[in-house]
A and B are shown apart, each in its own frame.
Chain A
Amino acid sequence: MKRLITTAVLALMALAVTHAIASAQDATEVMKKSHMAYYYAANDAVYEVTMHLFDKKGGERTREFTMLRLDKEDGGDQKYYTYFRQPSDVARLSFMVHKNATGNDQRWIYVPSVDLVKPISADDKNSSFVGSDFTYEDVSGRRWTEDNHKLLPESQLDGKAVFVVESTPLKPYKGFAKRISYIDQTTHIPLKSEYFDDKGEVVRVEKAVKIEDIGGFPTVTSRSMESLKKGSRTVVDFTGTKYNVGLKDDFFTERYLKTPPREYVK
């Protein structure tokens, strides 16, 4: 009898442990899939982007740019190219990022008024992207391997079944102390992400406002980020998104910063 109980207890414990491990694995798997669906759709992409920056008082600034993306491999290195049209006084200013999936990114900026290309080595991925509520990392993605993930009870969001994943950075990180992501169970698109500071308060909330199917890829065509403490909010609208257009690696070089590839950047 005694032995039976011991065995049962041990079995239950083993079950609990394996379940926990499985859960962690599941959570990481969910986050990886989500990362792929969100940041690595197709091999390349062209986006027409309008960014609305709302400040605390409701004042609005807009930025319009074309963004090109080329993946080296799924989940690996990527190249981004951004060409600004609005505001008009920064028209023709362009910006390039070589994203290193496992190390530091490389960035270049072209300043048309002085006709100068300047490398920028900002290690701080947590800094604001062109003054918006999005960080550089929000734009190009935070690799799933940098955080610990844990599945929370599944839930519903906007009528969709979602995985709820709690992520905590492996290394202390200024960007957030904890993040909770709500990930669509079918498309793996993150519908909502909440970023917490070390006081346990929500600081930023990202939402997928509009999701469309483009060329078979579920694509967020409008996303918003709200900074709760600052009271500011940024809404990004993507129009005319095209996938697998056959972008050349050559476009993502200094030369094209000055003279953008006209077939994609009008």
Chain B
Amino acid sequence: MKKGITEFSIRRPWLVIILAVAVTAFFAAQFPKIKIDTDPLNMLDQNEPVRIFDVAAKDAFALHDFIAVGLVNDKTAFTPDILNRIYRITAEVEKIEGVIVEDILAPATVDDIKQGPGGSLIIEPLMGGEISTPAEAEYIRERIKSNPILRGKLASDDGKAIALFVPIQSKDMSNRIAGEIKTITDTHGGGEKFHIAGLPVAQDSFGAQMFKQMAVAAPATFLVIFLLLFLFFRNVKIIIAPMVVAVMAVVWAMGLLIVTGNTVHIMSSMIPIFLIPIAVLNSIYIISEFHAHYAGHRQKEAGIRHSIHELFVPMLFVSATAAVGFLALAITPIPPVRVFGIFVGFGTLAAWFLSLVINPAFMMLLSDKTLARFAQATDDRGLLSRLLHFFRTFSSRHNKGIIAASLIVVVISAVGLSMIVVNDNPVKWFKKSHPIRQADMAMNNHLAGTYMNYLVFEGENSEAMKDPAVVTYIESMQGELAREPIVGATTGLPDVVKKVRYELFGADSSKLAIPESADEIAQMLFMFEMSGGDPGDLFKFVTPEYDKANLWVQLRDGDNQAVTKVVERADDFLAAHPLPPGINVSWAGLPYVNVIWQKLMVGGMREALLIAYVIVLVMMTALFRSFRWGLISMLPLTITVGAIYAFIGFVGKPYDMPISVLSTLTLGLSVDFAIQFIQRMRTMYDRNRDFQQTYHDIFEGVGRAIMRNVLVISIGFIPMLFSDLVPYITVGAFFLAIELVSGIVTMLLLPALARTFRRGLFPAAAPEAVAAEPSQAQA
């Protein structure tokens, strides 16, 4: 097969290019059909219980995702001027398409229950119109502070911060609506800074931002890689091929993803940046090999045949192992991860195939004059050569020291791995300086929090939630949860009952308690509805049938770790204090959903990584026809994965979504050098039967190609370090780390092992065929 492909590319270069362009054009034509999905719920399978429950809870209590808008003023936010502006802003926000007007929480929209003249009860909007005196402003602050339903939510006790909660019809409107709110606050703003926060905004904005980032990061990466390749090969024409291969592989993978009806999720948006290095790697080997051969023989076609012949097997295995790493993701329980794995796996194989056909086709089109200049360009005396010389002598002289050092690294890595902390928070996918992070910090410092979880109590029959035992239980759960520092506020049915009762009895604090009879509870709630309280407000806390109650648990921190602590506190309380008979309790809300999918993701990734690891080991053993060599070839990748993740453990960077996805990429990329190095070393030894010669030549040959790859990939992705989005920075840093660590380990440890265990690994007598492909064809 390999010969057929190569010969076809040599004989019909134009046809190959035209066919490849045609296929690429077909896939590119699918791009307009792209469907983008940033809904974190879709990280979970449709049938995942937590997802079903979250949807059911939102439906039962008519809950919506919301955007939190906040204002922080160092002195006080309660001045007539600021409040009036917020009043006008609220009126404008109500006009935005997609805002659930009746559920907006703002001074102008919420009702206040209070004592009126003559011992009467008044229910009226907290801020019925614009105000003119500081005393009125101060009065509003007092009312918020004394109302358990509003306290901390609408304003901080010190009055420095005010918040509005703007519920929206669906999460995918968050970014647009947040933008419109910003325009409104800008036009009505004085000197104060308005913040816009909340998980839906973070997640939806991330979706919008990632495409913008992609539009900058991908071309920047391309440019840097192009420049580096030029530095190595000094010939624009010859290095166009790798770039074309990379673009085509990306277009094929994304096009197939789109045409098969899959949606582009946060994860799959990273497919292009994963494919670029993989596509470029293969081409660099081919060009390096061709360059070396052409410089000596000056024969174009023979040079191509030789290069492909030498590289076909290692490239096949490199791509296959990388693809296995990605395809293993198909077993994870997270649908977007499955899509990501499958299509990046497909892209890897496409990149392999394309580099096999496009590189030779492009070379065929080059004139002998161009190639002659290309052959003359060398970096023999450059930095690369000095580095290679260093690796050669150092690994030879300190072979045992290198092995010992590697063992120490493995031990230290084990310690670091045990220190890994699993944590994530989509808001933190933005840099600290990003407005979304700023908003998150400012608002959560002052107010009860922008992260909303719901603890849902379910009874077996209607009216169950009017039972004093149940309402009292919810009340004590509130007391327990409030002890967790990140819980900013809890609001539920007990608060409504107590507040109405308190006001009914003329603001009597002794009545701020749950009544003992179900009828009284029912009548307090009826009072709320009777006296002009919006029933919609009440049914955020209890269903109209009174079979379910909803406790709002507002958090100042959306880190999965923090959310887990709250959940565990509730669990402990439930264990120590049995629920009233017939009552069940479950969590809903975005922060909780994030915790669950992270758990599934971490578990699923671990499994995928282990399976991929075993499969790669089996493949390596098959490739080298030796279990011993198979094991050795796994060393660079084992040490690389171990060291990088240990580093994450040591520095305390949370193990989050991007980092867990990158584990499979690390596996695929870092096995690459080992395969090239071992395969080529053994082939060489097989031919010359001279260990010293082989040891010397391997650094010149494949060593140079490996070093070029290390430099191209690690430097090529440096533009990503300047992204606004943390996952992109993480990816860039990972490429750098993977290439450097696995490159150095390959160039030091593998030769050191070869030298140390030379007798066992390189038998003097002719062994069985070394490679899967017979290697009689000497070029």
Residue among A57, A89, A95, A128 facing the most chain B CB atoms (10 A cut-off)? A89
Bound together, the chains give a CA A112 to CA B538 distance in angstroms of 21
Counting CB contacts under 8 A, is B512 at the interface?
Answer: no
> In the complex, how many angstroms separate the beta carbon of A80 from the nearest chain B beta carbon?
13
Point out the residues of chain B lying under 8 angstroms from A55, CB to CB.
Answer: 544
Residue among B123, B463, B530, B532 facing the most chain A CB atoms (10 A cut-off)? B530
> In the complex, how many angstroms separate the beta carbon of A140 from the nearest chain B beta carbon?
14
| A121-174 with Cβ < 8 A to chain B | 121-124, 127-128, 130-131, 136
Contact A109 to B531, CB < 8 A, known contacts A59-B544, A59-B545, A120-B122: yes
Point out the residues of chain B lying under 8 angstroms from A56, CB to CB.
Answer: 62
Counting CB contacts under 8 A, is B480 at the interface?
Answer: no
Counting CB contacts under 8 A, is A76 at the interface?
Answer: no
Bound together, the chains give a CA A57 to CA B533 distance in angstroms of 22
Counting CB contacts under 8 A, is A42 at the interface?
Answer: no
Point out the residues of chain B lying under 8 angstroms from A114, CB to CB.
Answer: 504-505, 520, 523
Contact A57 to B120, CB < 8 A, known contacts A116-B504, A122-B532: no
In contact, B523 and A113 (Cβ under 8 angstroms) = yes
- By size class, the interface of chain A is 20 to 34
Which segment of B111-119, B218-226, B352-360 sits at the interface?
B111-119
Point out the residues of chain A lying under 8 angstroms from B466, CB to CB.
Answer: 89
Give which listed residue, A57, A116, A120, contacts B59 with CB less than 8 A.
Answer: A57
Counting CB contacts under 8 A, is A215 at the interface?
Answer: no
Contact A113 to B517, CB < 8 A, known contacts A89-B522, A121-B120: yes
Give which listed residue, A93, A124, A199, A230, contacts B523 with CB less than 8 A.
Answer: A93
> In the complex, how many angstroms separate the beta carbon of A187 from the nearest chain B beta carbon?
32
| B522-568 with Cβ < 8 A to chain A | 522-523, 526-527, 529-536, 538, 544-545
- Chain B residue with minimal CB distance to A114? B520
Point out the residues of chain B lying under 8 angstroms from A116, CB to CB.
Answer: 504-505
Counting CB contacts under 8 A, is B727 at the interface?
Answer: no
Counting CB contacts under 8 A, is B515 at the interface?
Answer: yes
> In the complex, how many angstroms separate the beta carbon of B477 from the nearest chain A beta carbon?
24
In contact, A111 and B121 (Cβ under 8 angstroms) = no
In contact, A90 and B120 (Cβ under 8 angstroms) = no
Point out the residues of chain A lying under 8 angstroms from B534, CB to CB.
Answer: 127-128
Bound together, the chains give a CA A220 to CA B515 distance in angstroms of 40
In contact, A122 and B463 (Cβ under 8 angstroms) = no
In contact, B123 and A120 (Cβ under 8 angstroms) = yes
| A101-116 with Cβ < 8 A to chain B | 109, 111-114, 116
> In the complex, how many angstroms separate the beta carbon of B530 from the nearest chain A beta carbon?
6
Point out the residues of chain B lying under 8 angstroms from A95, CB to CB.
Answer: 530
- By size class, the interface of chain B is 35 or more
Counting CB contacts under 8 A, is B607 at the interface?
Answer: no
Give which listed residue, A112, A128, A199, contacts B532 with CB less than 8 A.
Answer: A128
Counting CB contacts under 8 A, is A118 at the interface?
Answer: yes
Counting CB contacts under 8 A, is B81 at the interface?
Answer: no
Counting CB contacts under 8 A, is B95 at the interface?
Answer: yes
Counting CB contacts under 8 A, is A61 at the interface?
Answer: yes
Bound together, the chains give a CA A93 to CA B125 distance in angstroms of 25
In contact, B535 and A122 (Cβ under 8 angstroms) = no
- Chain A residue with minimal CB distance to B543? A59
Counting CB contacts under 8 A, is A45 at the interface?
Answer: no
Point out the residues of chain B lying under 8 angstroms from A53, CB to CB.
Answer: 544
Point out the residues of chain A lying under 8 angstroms from B123, CB to CB.
Answer: 120, 122, 124, 127
- Chain A residue with minimal CB distance to B125? A124
Point out the residues of chain A lying under 8 angstroms from B538, CB to CB.
Answer: 131
In contact, A113 and B544 (Cβ under 8 angstroms) = no
- Chain B residue with minimal CB distance to A227? B102
In contact, A199 and B122 (Cβ under 8 angstroms) = no
> In the complex, how many angstroms separate the beta carbon of B339 from the nearest chain A beta carbon?
33
- Chain A residue with minimal CB distance to B501? A114
Q: Is the interface of A mostly helix, strand, loop or mixed?
A: loop
Point out the residues of chain A lying under 8 angstroms from B615, CB to CB.
Answer: none
In contact, B523 and A118 (Cβ under 8 angstroms) = no
Q: How many A-B residue pairs have CB under 8 A?
A: 94
Counting CB contacts under 8 A, is B301 at the interface?
Answer: no
A175-201 toward B: CB 8 Å interface, digit per residue (1/0)?
Answer: 000000000000000000000001100
In contact, A121 and B121 (Cβ under 8 angstroms) = yes
In contact, B535 and A111 (Cβ under 8 angstroms) = no
Point out the residues of chain A lying under 8 angstroms from B505, CB to CB.
Answer: 114, 116
Bound together, the chains give a CA A198 to CA B94 distance in angstroms of 10
Counting CB contacts under 8 A, is B460 at the interface?
Answer: no
Give which listed residue, A87, A121, A123, A199, contacts B522 with CB less than 8 A.
Answer: A87
Bound together, the chains give a CA A59 to CA B61 distance in angstroms of 13
Point out the residues of chain A lying under 8 angstroms from B530, CB to CB.
Answer: 95, 109, 120, 130
Bound together, the chains give a CA A114 to CA B122 distance in angstroms of 19
In contact, A89 and B121 (Cβ under 8 angstroms) = no
Counting CB contacts under 8 A, is B48 at the interface?
Answer: no
Point out the residues of chain B lying under 8 angstroms from A120, CB to CB.
Answer: 120-123, 530-532
> In the complex, how many angstroms separate the beta carbon of B542 from the nearest chain A beta carbon?
12
In contact, B122 and A90 (Cβ under 8 angstroms) = no
Counting CB contacts under 8 A, is B124 at the interface?
Answer: yes
Bound together, the chains give a CA A229 to CA B515 distance in angstroms of 35
In contact, B124 and A123 (Cβ under 8 angstroms) = yes
Bound together, the chains give a CA A118 to CA B502 distance in angstroms of 13
- Chain A residue with minimal CB distance to B532? A127
Bound together, the chains give a CA A19 to CA B545 distance in angstroms of 54
Contact A90 to B544, CB < 8 A, known contacts A109-B530, A114-B504, A120-B531: no
In contact, B520 and A113 (Cβ under 8 angstroms) = yes
Give which listed residue, A121, A128, A130, A199, contacts B95 with CB less than 8 A.
Answer: A199
Counting CB contacts under 8 A, is B518 at the interface?
Answer: yes
B352-375 toward A: CB 8 Å interface, digit per residue (1/0)?
Answer: 000000000000000000000000
In contact, B529 and A131 (Cβ under 8 angstroms) = yes
Point out the residues of chain B lying under 8 angstroms from A124, CB to CB.
Answer: 123-125, 532
Counting CB contacts under 8 A, is B572 at the interface?
Answer: no
> In the complex, how many angstroms separate the beta carbon of B742 from the nearest chain A beta carbon?
57
Bound together, the chains give a CA A109 to CA B523 distance in angstroms of 11
Counting CB contacts under 8 A, is B519 at the interface?
Answer: yes
| A16-70 with Cβ < 8 A to chain B | 53, 55-57, 59, 61
Bound together, the chains give a CA A229 to CA B64 distance in angstroms of 14
Bound together, the chains give a CA A205 to CA B533 distance in angstroms of 22
> In the complex, how many angstroms separate the beta carbon of A244 from the nearest chain B beta carbon?
29
In contact, A89 and B463 (Cβ under 8 angstroms) = yes
B37-69 toward A: CB 8 Å interface, digit per residue (1/0)?
Answer: 000000000000000000000010010000000
In contact, A121 and B529 (Cβ under 8 angstroms) = no
Contact A113 to B529, CB < 8 A, known contacts A89-B463, A119-B120, A123-B124: no
Bound together, the chains give a CA A130 to CA B533 distance in angstroms of 9
Bound together, the chains give a CA A199 to CA B529 distance in angstroms of 27
Point out the residues of chain A lying under 8 angstroms from B95, CB to CB.
Answer: 198-199
Point out the residues of chain A lying under 8 angstroms from B518, CB to CB.
Answer: 89
In contact, A230 and B119 (Cβ under 8 angstroms) = no
B447-467 toward A: CB 8 Å interface, digit per residue (1/0)?
Answer: 000000000000000010010
In contact, B535 and A93 (Cβ under 8 angstroms) = no
Bound together, the chains give a CA A53 to CA B119 distance in angstroms of 32
Point out the residues of chain B lying under 8 angstroms from A112, CB to CB.
Answer: 519, 523
Bound together, the chains give a CA A159 to CA B198 distance in angstroms of 53
> In the complex, how many angstroms separate the beta carbon of A171 from the nearest chain B beta carbon?
12
In contact, B531 and A113 (Cβ under 8 angstroms) = no
Residue positions of B touching A, CB distance < 8 A? 59, 62, 95, 101-102, 116-125, 463, 466, 504-505, 515, 517-520, 522-523, 526-527, 529-536, 538, 544-545
Can you show 17 pairs from A to B with CB atoms below 8 A apart? A59-B544, A89-B523, A109-B527, A109-B531, A118-B121, A120-B532, A121-B117, A122-B124, A122-B532, A123-B122, A124-B123, A124-B124, A124-B532, A127-B533, A128-B534, A128-B535, A199-B95
The 6 A-B residue pairs whose C-beta atoms are closest, nearest first, are A127-B532, A89-B522, A119-B120, A131-B535, A113-B520, A131-B529
| Given A111-B527, A122-B531, 8 additional A-B pairs, CB 8 A | A89-B518, A90-B519, A113-B520, A118-B504, A121-B116, A121-B120, A122-B123, A229-B102
Residue positions of A touching B, CB distance < 8 A? 53, 55-57, 59, 61, 87, 89-90, 93, 95, 109, 111-114, 116, 118-124, 127-128, 130-131, 136, 198-199, 229-230
